[in-house]
Amino acid sequence: MEKTFFIIKPDGVKRGLVGQVLQRIEQRGFQLEKLELRPAPSSELVDQHYEALVDKAFYPLIRDFMTSGPIVVGVISGPQVISCWRKMMGATRPEEALPGTIRGDFAQAPQGDETIQNIVHGSDSPESAAREIALWFGEK
């Protein structure tokens, strides 16, 4: 069965949205394979996770945000779970995320110079899912 990796980012945990995010996963019928509350991740781990973005001008703000507090990490499985979870998350930019999606229902567009805080992460392909599961859960 297809698997994907997800994160409830520091904003989601701080705002008390863990239960509502997990409820949507269960409601949709996906199977929870792994689920852990983790202390704020190290910069090194976040840099590896976002290896495709580390050279972008905005990346330092992402790193600061992602290391700012505890996160929930997990693996879920189900038919087409990678693309389906991406649809459930909604667009990257909160102002573009449709109502009914997690980001569209809970995330606000950045104000001032803060970075995008959009509650959740989900792998974007089978290759990233495998890489991210190995990175966060140490499966070789």
The residues that touch Mg ion, with contacts defined as CB under 5 A, are: 124
CB 108 within 8 A of CB 19: no
Residue 92 interface partner, choices ligand DAT, Mg ion, none, CB cut-off 5-8 Å depending on type: ligand DAT
Q: Is 92 annotated as a binding residue?
A: yes
Contact partner, 58, from ligand DAT, Mg ion, none, Cβ < 5-8 Å per class: ligand DAT
- Least Å distance between CB 3 and ligand DAT? 17
Site size toward ligand DAT, by CB under 6 A: 9
Per the annotation, does 9 bind a ligand? yes
Binding to ligand DAT by residue 124, rule CB under 6 A? yes
SS3 sequence of 38-86: ECCCCHHHHHHHCCCCCCCCCHHHHHHHHCCCCEEEEEEECCCHHHHHH
Strand partners, 34: 75
Examine residue 92 and tell whether it contacts ligand DAT (CB under 6 A): yes
Q: Is 49 one of the catalytic residues?
A: no
Establish if 51 lies at the interface with ligand DAT (CB under 6 A). Answer: no
What does 111-128 look like in DSSP terms, one character per residue? -TT-----SEEE-SSHHH
Torsion, CA 1, CA 101, CA 90, CA 92, rounded to 10: -130
What are the strands of the beta sheet with 3-8, ordered from one edge? 31-38, 71-77, 3-8, 120-122
Q: How far is the CB of 5 from ligand DAT (least distance, A)?
A: 11
Positions that interact with ligand DAT (CB under 6 A): 53, 58, 62, 92, 115-116, 118, 121, 124
Residues annotated as part of the active site: 121
